[in-house]
Structure 1
Amino acid sequence: MNFSSKKVFILFFVSVVSSLAFAQSKSDRELILIDKDWRFSFGHLFDTEKDFGHATGYFSYLTKTGFGDGPAAKDFDDRAWRKLDLPHDWAVEQDFSESGSYSHGFKMAGKGFPEKSIGWYRKKITIPETDKNKIISLKFDGVFRNSKVFFNGYYLGTEESGYNGFEYDVTAYVNYGGENTIVVRADASMEEGWFYEGAGIYRHVYLQKTNPVHVALNGTYVTSEIKDNNAEVTAEVTLINKGNYKGSIEIFQTVFDASNKQITTVSENVSAPEFYKTNTKALKLTIKNPLLWDIDSPNLYRLVTELKQNGKTIDYYETPFGIRTIKFDPENGFFLNGKPLKLKGTNNHQDHAGIGTALPDELQYYRIQKLKEMGSNAYRCSHHPPTPELLEACDKLGMLVIDETRLMGINDYHLNDLERMMKRDRNHPSIFCWSVGNEEWNIEGNIVGERITNVMQDFAKSIDATRPVTVGISSGFKSGISSVVEIMGYNYLGNGDIDAHRNEFKQQSGMGTEEGSTFATRGIYFTDDAKHYKSAYDKKPRPTFYSIEEGWKFYAERPYLAGMFIWTGFDYRGEPTPYGWPSVTSYFGMMDVCGFPKDNVFYLKSWWGSKPVLHIMPHWNWSGLEGKEIDVWVQSNCDEVELFLNKKSLGKKKMVLNSHLEWKVNYTPGTLEAVGYKNGKKVLTEVQKTTGKAENVKLSIDKENVLKGKVSVITVEVIDKNGLQIPTANDEITFSIKGGKILGVGNGDPTSLEKDQFIDDLELVKITNFKEQKRTDATLPQQLSNYPENEWKIAFSDRDYKNQAPSYIYRGEFDLKNNTTANVVSFFYKKIGAAVAIFVNGKKIEASTEDSQKYVLNPVVLKEGKNTIHIIATPLQKVKDWDVMNTDPGIIQVSTPAEQWKRKLFNGYAQIIIQKEENANEVVLSASAKGLRAGSLNIK
């Protein structure tokens, strides 16, 4: 099938930092990031007592509106829970275990660990009285997974997928002028994919406020057609009315360029939609001599949609977009803006070393810049909708994108997911193709696959007709999906005869949606299966599969193939083929999980990029192998390369297009030097030197960091006295920081079982065996008396609230597994009396100054094992007979301080990701290792 489109599209993306403050002053719309200051605790998959008694009430939240119980209740006491900021991935925080999921990198989370498969999040926000006439909603970019959301105890809904964004209207439930409680329960016990997916609220959360008449969710759609050096822009807007206004609305559409200069504007009066209905209106604008969006010049425009009601601006909505043309041709491949462009793509999952899936926005840019530096121009979202910030980075940096939905099917579950993804993302100029499936082996080659593909393909066209549809196919290229999909997605040369399929379907364009799948460990040059290390030389992974070089040659030599997407750009957690435990990451990446390049990066850089490249592999530290033959490869795009060992020439060789050069060299310490020639002239030199012993720890900030970003990626290495990096170093580095916090550490070692994060351990210990006795005196004592043992009875049993004693003494127990002076043990008292005195192991405890119902316990008072708590309190009185009185005395929190942050180097490198504190002028990061001079780095 021949897909040709001169139309262009764009996606709605709200700029939280720059445009929102501007928008707030102009209209009723506000979009407020609410990532900070959440409370978190683990629940339990099936033990309701360990899940804080959630969903155990006589009336459940599904039975009666507003009956959220346990942590879902508005006034649940979460003070003892951990305090954190979003985005958050609880899976990456866990230790490794051989009984953990192979897919998820053997982390102790998920279905095999019911105590680490449910996560509760709670946050309190204040919404002023002045917002009473607005529509208030919560926007989630993604929660993994099966999330249930509550607001002030009211159940809002369930989102099963961990990759969909979703929104809930909470207007009816708001406590205006007071405190409101957001609660999320995430159930990560079931996997959606076969790769690391993380767990929890790993994307952003927003509070949104709008006028009742406003632009609907993802309610703009911008396309353009280029005619005679002008762009005819169609700006479609969908309005929704959640109020009773029945008059007219004036729509203003204005386009601004990158310098914020107004380019063109248009307006039109329309009738407001009826109550809870929508209206869609398309307006036309012309942009003269537009700056096109391109991978080298990613020019962007901004559409401002302004709604006016009786002359007053009620909504102000921004849509970044780009103008460009795309075309697939079955004979000549892919064209961008009328020019042929070979797709040089990579597949990628969304996790990164040290932080799992909870990527700060800056890290999205970091990763795309790493891929661009390698020469890549295209990115396939494998295998689910990405976070919005990744697409924003691709728009701004010039990276084409295949946007992929999670699961194939024809029912609402499948098509609704596809529609939400497409409407959210269709204004992004970076997206050039929609993918509706990947390696669905059960249906790829049969009539069911054909039927599903036809439905999904036509459904996608009804939402966005400007882009083609593809499916990644791996079980032969003969029938079923392969025969009807618009753009054929070939997954691996070894899985079928691509040329034969092309000859049968000559009007069908195609590209390699997955190719490569080689195994390599960064910095390893001799395979060691016992250690689970694969040599970094580019070899066939298995007899029927192809190396990176073989794969690229195949696609580069065939004009009818639009290009290829390598599996993968970065290593990722899980799927540690061809090994298992204790390997915890993949081996497929061109870069490791940190983004440190493997040697294949330089092969691709040679033939994917435009700059001269010269790279020698391996390193030249081979003590003990003197005189042994070493394979030396040179990756380059020079015409010729000459290799020298200690200034003696080992011969000059001509470079063949899309290839590399090889020498056999007997190891002698010293200097291995390559000289590259173009047109007979020396243009590049590259050396590998035998280093001395390690002397210093070196910290450096990676150049791909976002300028003025709060998050920075730091490379850690050790160097000898001459400043040379030690490529075989594996020293353990210890870190400290001032003015910031460490988010995660990594080193790219696929078998490393070191911690990714070092966080304080919080344990919540219940008070058990809770009993009571009546007291005849309402005065609270300063010392604990002896009470008759035979008069203790179960607390609050058969309490006559109309005839209570002047006071009660309660006794309970709690167990401490260990009692070290480093631990901080606190009792979070939940009110069971009007006035109270508390004793632990016979000693009176005073309330903390920060919280009158929090008691920090002195380690001297505590003991390992069983401890006793007494609470003497005057009773609370019922106001109404049906009042439910609290009978829970509270919870013991044991906080064990984390170890100091540390990570071993792996083949010379480690990585640390840091975040600057809000008001800090600079961040000072220090690193030390045994026997080495410490290093430090100041970041302004």
Structure 2
Amino acid sequence: MRLTKILWVHLLILAHAALLFAAGPVRAAEPVRQVVQLNRAWTFTLGDPAGAETDDHADRDWQQVNLPHSFSLPYFLGPNFYVGYGWYRRSVVMDQAWRGKRLTLEFDGVFQDAEIYVNGVKAGRHRGGYTGFAIDITRQMRPGSNTVAVRVNNLWNAQLSPRAGEHHFSGGIYRDVRLVATDPVHVAWYGTFVTTPEVSPERASLRIRTEVENTAGTDHAVTLVSRIYTPEGRLLTQETATRAVRAGATEVFDQQPPAIRQPSLWAPGNPALYRLETEVRRDGRVADRYSTTFGIRSIRWTADRGFFLNGQHLYLVGANVHQDHAGWGDAVSHAGARRDIGMLRDAGFNFIRGSHYPHAPAFSRAADELGMLFWSEAPFWGIGGFGGEGNWFASAYPPNPDDRPGFEDSVLAQTAEMIRIHRNHPSIIAWSNGNEYFFSAPETMDAVRAFVRRQVALMRTLDPTRPAATGGVQRGEVDRLGDLAGYNGDGAALPAYLNPGLASLVSEYGSTIASRPGAYEPGWGNLTEPPDQRGSAARYPWRYPWRSGEAIWAGFDHGTIADIDFGKMGMIDYFRIPKRQYYWYRNEYRQVPPPAWPGPGQASQLSLTADKTVIHGTQGHDDVQLLVTVRDAQGRALSNSPDVTLTIERGPGEFPTGRSITFRHDTPVDIRDGQAAIEFRSYYAGKSVIRASSPGLKDALLVIRTEGPDPYIEGKSPLARARPLVKYPALARREPGAAPGNVVINRPTAATSSAPGRPASMANDGDDNTAWQAAAADDHPAWSIDLENIYAVHGVAVLQPGQAALAYTVELSLDRVQWQPLTPAQLQAAQLPPGLRARFVRVRFASPAGAVAALSEVRVLAVPAAEAPPL
């Protein structure tokens, strides 16, 4: 039977090849692959109404929304957002050309549990908020109109990753949706993988692996044609292969075209992109066409000499980037992602760490096109000071053994989806398994390390061309479990991680809380004078020869479940206006002098400008960034910050708040230092007239034109409704009535000095038997800790080893500038007086006069400031 099957397959292939030869040119059925964007014209409601998946469900009272969309629209920073269910519905008309086709819905991201229904029938489900997925709806579709309904929830789930993280977790279909119609024999979802095993300026070898899926009921002989085009669009090479693909199976075609001579190597200064055009033929016709962009470049991470791109050493100078923008939250347009990357590139950065989950395909594509190196991260994530189960303050890894198999499957599934979706992007130079997952219950750490080994093995298997990195691994003995380690915060200076013997970088440094405009400084003294290199003559003394790079925390302000101010650590604010810190880096890295800072004056008028005045397309991929500036009569920019309102007077479009938005100083919708900004979208073609106004000032007008289908018709096209800010209930971070907890374990520490083998981290490792010790020559020893949140402090305990205790002072601070000492009576009290809030705690010792300062453990009992009763 087996021999007969093999002979039949060979005969089928030979017959197919003879048919192609005899028939001459292949007949192309156009279009062979049809992609229909589905971002427009959805209805939406919060809650979980019964029967919402059915055709006849009454949704006339639901909101009219477009994608990308967030449950919590509008969102302007802060720890509170809607948690629960939401439903999306829209109609899809079956095209006659789709008969006999395979139909799939492709989602780029839904947070975080999505159930998809077509005409009342459940077609599929996906769990995981940061990776795309495809749902086959061929059997559910019918001629005429079809109802697509999506039930989404963003409920915390003990078995779903992430269980914790310092961001916000708003629900919604916050990335693109499209319907794809293909022949039953087609290239699988993200089914191409182009690698460049050997790269030099003289030649580059290629390997193309293409997955061809056959969902037909019969076997087919398939011919695959792969054409490579240069960045200029010239056909470079063509490879053809024929093989049988059985019914219901997926076959991988492995092709190795001739080497490319004098390739244009992708790099930050030369973001050259080649194109692979894949053609699938069966039965004498073209069944599918699929396009893949890729770059030719080589990467090498070394333990002793850092990072190399195309054989040349390159120090990575980067920033961490979350995916959310003012008002729109996580629902960011393609243009918004591109602007973010462009702002960092223009300041002289060459590297982005994607914090702390896979970003949208549009983000990776923009990184390719703009020449920005990118670290892509899986959502295995921890947050310090975790409470009990039930929200994103939980242990990163499940304490309950019953939850572990499901959770591990969730992490591995999203890791695999991340790699599959993004693997052809030359900008991506590392896959990271997560961030700071050592913030797990202590009893789970052996299981955490075992799981990290398993995850790293999967990453290496799925893509052996990039290192499997471990992210934020400055604690927990997890940094050596992968190929590349990223150390956050004090991990850059702890002795255990200095020249660690494997490739490494500083994956987070910095973290200065500042509202715009902020100070003209880097925001982190260690950049120019790290603790272990004080007095060094080097310009950047911590850029050791073995270190691959560094990424500031953070590029942009972002939403967070921590205190609202804790999200203001970006060098660019939430509205995408640079703080002065941004200009410090731009001057330092690109030698571009900072602009003149605005000052107070007699405000006379407003100006309203945009990054461009044309929006291309009506599917929400493009938008414009509006900037309003307060000016005097001569046109000089002022720092005055009166209330300013933007209003759409005529035409299509919307702000996150609807048809108008008002900026008020010291509110979530803020105007500061004389400027305010917001992103404007339009889902209809036409001209939009926008007015900026402020009492007593001359107005400004701006016209934005949207090009594309779906024309705006005055009086008929629906207008965006007003969306007021909603104050959602705060997340319950701990068990009700729980006592203040010790919030220092594994937090970043610093000290004026450390004796060999006695680093500062030993005073907050939870072990009374280990101790930080100052160097013998340190005449003014001090130890400090960053609590990485703003806390209401209830008590501080200081433990010193040995019998001879030294006198010390404990101080609290919010900014490392102003310090508030605690009195001896306060330290001895069972509870500190209310109102003591801190992010930093410092212990300073009196001159020891021959004695050596040491701390075996410091404990800070506190609750998050957002949880504390109002004063």
Give the secondary-structure state (helix, strand or coil) at the position aligned to 2:364: helix
Alpha-carbon shift at residue 38 of structure 1 (Å): 0.8
Q: Hey, what's the Cα distance between the residues in 2 that align with 1:594 and 1:461?
A: 38
Q: Is the contact between residue 117 and residue 148 of structure 2 (CA under 8 Å) also seen in structure 1? A: yes
Q: Hey, what's the Cα distance between the residues in 2 that align with 1:24 and 1:741?
A: 40
User: What is the aligned partner in structure 2 of residue 702 from structure 1?
Assistant: 611
Alignment of 1:312-331 (within 5 A): 312-331=285-304
Alpha-carbon shift at residue 269 of structure 1 (Å): 1.1
Alpha-carbon shift at residue 74 of structure 1 (Å): 2.3
Alpha-carbon shift at residue 308 of structure 1 (Å): 0.7
Alignment of 1:608-619 (within 5 A): 608-609=589-590, 612-615=591-594
User: What is the aligned partner in structure 2 of residue 79 from structure 1?
Assistant: 60
User: What is the aligned partner in structure 2 of residue 560 from structure 1?
Assistant: 546
Q: Is the contact between residue 27 and residue 313 of structure 1 (CA under 8 Å) also seen in structure 2? A: no
Q: Hey, what's the Cα distance between the residues in 2 that align with 1:704 and 1:602?
A: 26
Q: Hey, what's the Cα distance between the residues in 1 that align with 2:364 and 2:605?
A: 39
Alpha-carbon shift at residue 296 of structure 1 (Å): 1.3
Evaluate the alpha carbon distance shift between residue 559 and residue 444 of structure 1 in structure 2; reply closer, same or farther with a 3 A threshold.
farther
User: What is the aligned partner in structure 1 of residue 120 from structure 2?
Assistant: 153
Alignment of 1:781-820 (within 5 A): none
User: What is the aligned partner in structure 2 of residue 924 from structure 1?
Assistant: 689
Evaluate the alpha carbon distance shift between residue 149 and residue 218 of structure 1 in structure 2; reply closer, same or farther with a 3 A threshold.
same
Q: Hey, what's the Cα distance between the residues in 1 that align with 2:531 and 2:580?
A: 17
User: What is the aligned partner in structure 2 of residue 642 from structure 1?
Assistant: none
Determine if the alignment matches structure 1 residue 372 to structure 2 residue 371.
Answer: no
Give, as a single letter, the amino acid of the residue that structure 2 aligns with 1:613: V
Give, as a single letter, the amino acid of the residue that structure 1 aligns with 2:256: K
Q: Is the contact between residue 384 and residue 405 of structure 1 (CA under 8 Å) also seen in structure 2? A: yes
Q: Is the contact between residue 530 and residue 542 of structure 2 (CA under 8 Å) also seen in structure 1? A: no
Note the residue ranges of structure 2 that are not aligned, 5 or more in a row.
1-26, 382-396, 398-404, 706-871
Q: Is the contact between residue 489 and residue 512 of structure 1 (CA under 8 Å) also seen in structure 2? A: yes
Alpha-carbon shift at residue 584 of structure 1 (Å): 6.0
User: What is the aligned partner in structure 1 of residue 456 from structure 2?
Assistant: 457
CA-to-partner distance for each residue in 1:796-839, whole Å, 9 max, x for gaps? xxxxxxxxxxxxxxxxxxxxxxxxxxxxxxxxxxxxxxxxxxxx
Evaluate the alpha carbon distance shift between residue 484 and residue 490 of structure 1 in structure 2; reply closer, same or farther with a 3 A threshold.
same
Q: Is the contact between residue 383 and residue 406 of structure 1 (CA under 8 Å) also seen in structure 2? A: yes
CA-to-partner distance for each residue in 1:337-392, whole Å, 9 max, x for gaps? 11111111111111001211111211111111111111111111111111111111
Evaluate the alpha carbon distance shift between residue 460 and residue 550 of structure 1 in structure 2; reply closer, same or farther with a 3 A threshold.
farther
Give the secondary-structure state (helix, strand or coil) at the position aligned to 1:319: strand
Q: Hey, what's the Cα distance between the residues in 1 that align with 2:320 and 2:273?
A: 25
Q: Is the contact between residue 112 and residue 153 of structure 2 (CA under 8 Å) also seen in structure 1? A: yes
Alpha-carbon shift at residue 25 of structure 1 (Å): 6.6
Q: Is the contact between residue 39 and residue 121 of structure 1 (CA under 8 Å) also seen in structure 2? A: yes
Give the secondary-structure state (helix, strand or coil) at the position aligned to 2:78: coil
Evaluate the alpha carbon distance shift between residue 910 and residue 199 of structure 1 in structure 2; reply closer, same or farther with a 3 A threshold.
same
Q: Is the contact between residue 406 and residue 436 of structure 1 (CA under 8 Å) also seen in structure 2? A: yes
Residue of 132, 138, 145 corresponding to 2:105 = 138
Q: Hey, what's the Cα distance between the residues in 2 that align with 1:598 and 1:495?
A: 27
Alpha-carbon shift at residue 540 of structure 1 (Å): 6.2
Q: Hey, what's the Cα distance between the residues in 1 that align with 2:509 and 2:667?
A: 27
Evaluate the alpha carbon distance shift between residue 742 and residue 605 of structure 1 in structure 2; reply closer, same or farther with a 3 A threshold.
same
Larger displacement relative to structure 2 (275-284 or 437-446): 437-446
Alignment of 1:268-287 (within 5 A): 268-272=241-245, 274-285=246-257, 286-287=259-260
Q: Hey, what's the Cα distance between the residues in 1 that align with 2:665 and 2:547?
A: 34
Q: Is the contact between residue 592 and residue 748 of structure 1 (CA under 8 Å) also seen in structure 2? A: no
CA-to-partner distance for each residue in 1:535-562, whole Å, 9 max, x for gaps? 97836699x9999x99996675312111
Larger displacement relative to structure 2 (423-432 or 119-128): 119-128
Give the secondary-structure state (helix, strand or coil) at the position aligned to 2:434: strand
Q: Is the contact between residue 256 and residue 303 of structure 1 (CA under 8 Å) also seen in structure 2? A: yes
Determine if the alignment matches structure 1 residue 716 to structure 2 residue 628.
Answer: yes
Alignment of 1:280-295 (within 5 A): 280-285=252-257, 286-295=259-268
Determine if the alignment matches structure 1 residue 510 to structure 2 residue 499.
Answer: no
Alpha-carbon shift at residue 414 of structure 1 (Å): 2.1
Q: Hey, what's the Cα distance between the residues in 2 that align with 1:707 and 1:79?
A: 30
Evaluate the alpha carbon distance shift between residue 87 and residue 707 of structure 1 in structure 2; reply closer, same or farther with a 3 A threshold.
closer
Give, as a single letter, the amino acid of the residue that structure 2 aligns with 1:190: W
User: What is the aligned partner in structure 2 of residue 471 from structure 1?
Assistant: 470
Evaluate the alpha carbon distance shift between residue 584 and residue 738 of structure 1 in structure 2; reply closer, same or farther with a 3 A threshold.
farther
Larger displacement relative to structure 2 (24-33 or 394-403): 24-33
CA-to-partner distance for each residue in 1:14-44, whole Å, 9 max, x for gaps? xxxxxxxxx997453112111111111122x
Evaluate the alpha carbon distance shift between residue 129 and residue 596 of structure 1 in structure 2; reply closer, same or farther with a 3 A threshold.
closer
Evaluate the alpha carbon distance shift between residue 146 and residue 268 of structure 1 in structure 2; reply closer, same or farther with a 3 A threshold.
same
CA-to-partner distance for each residue in 1:282-313, whole Å, 9 max, x for gaps? 11123221111111110001101101113210
Give, as a single letter, the amino acid of the residue that structure 2 aligns with 1:460: M
Give the secondary-structure state (helix, strand or coil) at the position aligned to 1:173: coil
Q: Is the contact between residue 537 and residue 599 of structure 1 (CA under 8 Å) also seen in structure 2? A: no
Give, as a single letter, the amino acid of the residue that structure 1 aligns with 2:154: A
Residue of 536, 553, 576 corresponding to 1:595 = 576
Alignment of 1:578-593 (within 5 A): 580=563, 583=564, 586-593=567-574
Note the residue ranges of structure 1 that are not aligned, 5 or more in a row.
1-22, 44-50, 55-69, 97-103, 111-116, 526-534, 616-685, 755-903
User: What is the aligned partner in structure 2 of residue 100 from structure 1?
Assistant: none
Give, as a single letter, the amino acid of the residue that structure 1 aligns with 2:263: P
Alignment of 1:110-509 (within 5 A): 110=83, 117-175=84-142, 177-190=143-156, 192=162, 193-224=165-196, 225-226=198-199, 229-272=202-245, 274-285=246-257, 286-407=259-380, 411-442=408-439, 447-476=446-475, 480-492=477-489, 494-495=490-491, 497-503=493-499, 505-506=500-501, 508-509=502-503
User: What is the aligned partner in structure 1 of residue 555 from structure 2?
Assistant: 569
Q: Is the contact between residue 748 and residue 906 of structure 1 (CA under 8 Å) also seen in structure 2? A: no
Determine if the alignment matches structure 1 residue 727 to structure 2 residue 639.
Answer: yes
Give, as a single letter, the amino acid of the residue that structure 2 aligns with 1:470: A
Give the secondary-structure state (helix, strand or coil) at the position aligned to 1:456: helix
Q: Is the contact between residue 353 and residue 748 of structure 1 (CA under 8 Å) also seen in structure 2? A: no
Q: Hey, what's the Cα distance between the residues in 1 that align with 2:36 and 2:308?
A: 40
Determine if the alignment matches structure 1 residue 753 to structure 2 residue 668.
Answer: yes
Q: Hey, what's the Cα distance between the residues in 1 that align with 2:255 and 2:664?
A: 54
Larger Rg: 1
Give the secondary-structure state (helix, strand or coil) at the position aligned to 2:256: strand
Give, as a single letter, the amino acid of the residue that structure 1 aligns with 2:190: N
Larger displacement relative to structure 2 (197-206 or 730-739): 730-739
Evaluate the alpha carbon distance shift between residue 913 and residue 26 of structure 1 in structure 2; reply closer, same or farther with a 3 A threshold.
same
Evaluate the alpha carbon distance shift between residue 603 and residue 93 of structure 1 in structure 2; reply closer, same or farther with a 3 A threshold.
closer
Q: Hey, what's the Cα distance between the residues in 1 that align with 2:613 and 2:230?
A: 26
User: What is the aligned partner in structure 2 of residue 538 from structure 1?
Assistant: 523
Q: Is the contact between residue 319 and residue 555 of structure 2 (CA under 8 Å) also seen in structure 1? A: yes
Give, as a single letter, the amino acid of the residue that structure 2 aligns with 1:557: R
Alpha-carbon shift at residue 455 of structure 1 (Å): 1.7
Evaluate the alpha carbon distance shift between residue 339 and residue 524 of structure 1 in structure 2; reply closer, same or farther with a 3 A threshold.
closer
Alpha-carbon shift at residue 736 of structure 1 (Å): 2.8
**TM-score, scaled relative to structure 2:** 0.68
Residue of 37, 62, 79 corresponding to 1:33 = 37
Q: Is the contact between residue 238 and residue 280 of structure 1 (CA under 8 Å) also seen in structure 2? A: yes
Q: Hey, what's the Cα distance between the residues in 2 that align with 1:396 and 1:706?
A: 19
How many residues are aligned here? 636
Residue of 520, 523, 536 corresponding to 2:514 = 520
Q: Hey, what's the Cα distance between the residues in 1 that align with 2:446 and 2:496?
A: 21
Q: Is the contact between residue 41 and residue 66 of structure 2 (CA under 8 Å) also seen in structure 1? A: yes
Alpha-carbon shift at residue 740 of structure 1 (Å): 3.2
Give the secondary-structure state (helix, strand or coil) at the position aligned to 1:459: helix
Identity %: 28
Alpha-carbon shift at residue 499 of structure 1 (Å): 4.6
Give, as a single letter, the amino acid of the residue that structure 2 aligns with 1:430: S
Alpha-carbon shift at residue 454 of structure 1 (Å): 2.1
Give, as a single letter, the amino acid of the residue that structure 2 aligns with 1:441: F
Evaluate the alpha carbon distance shift between residue 541 and residue 118 of structure 1 in structure 2; reply closer, same or farther with a 3 A threshold.
farther
Q: Hey, what's the Cα distance between the residues in 2 that align with 1:162 and 1:555?
A: 40
